[in-house]
Amino acid sequence: MKIGYTALNWTIGCSGAKMFRLKSYSHEKLVETTQNNLDCLLTMLKFNVKNNLLFFRIKSRLIPFASYPVMDFDWKEHFKDDFNEISDSPK
């Protein structure tokens, strides 16, 4: 069995799990935070492949407030290119 880790990589300088409080929710804050999280996720996945770390759990905070009623933004459509890039990254 290969060793992996769960969600946070302190080696590369980003966590992919930034969050903010619901009371400070705004469309701009959501887009900024989600973009950071997706960029970090891609960086972590590339690091994992390079270092032969094949087990990895993605944090549920990747898309802040995705399941909350306050979410009135089609984040799936907005970030589809990012999701495709992550999906197509080296395996």
Number of H helices, E strands in the chain: 3, 2
C-alpha to C-alpha distance for 53 and 74, rounded to whole angstroms:
32
Picking from 53, 51, 57, 58, the residue whose alpha carbon sits closest to that of residue 2 is 53
What is this structure's pTM? 0.85
- Tokens for 49, please give them: 């492949």
Q: Domain coordinates of the chain in residue numbers?
A: 5-81
What pLDDT is recorded for position 59? 82
pLDDT, tens digit (0-9, with 9 covering 90-100), for 34-81: 999 999 999 988 988 898 888 888 888 899 998 888 888 999 999 999
- Tokens for 32, please give them: 């900024």
Of residues 18 and 90, which shows the higher confidence score? 18
Q: What is the mean pLDDT of residues 15-42?
A: 89
C-alpha to C-alpha distance for 63 and 48, rounded to whole angstroms:
21
State the pLDDT confidence band at 7, using cuts at 50, 70 and 90: low
Asked if 46 contacts 90 with a C-beta cutoff of 8 angstroms, the reply is yes
State the pLDDT confidence band at 91, using cuts at 50, 70 and 90: low
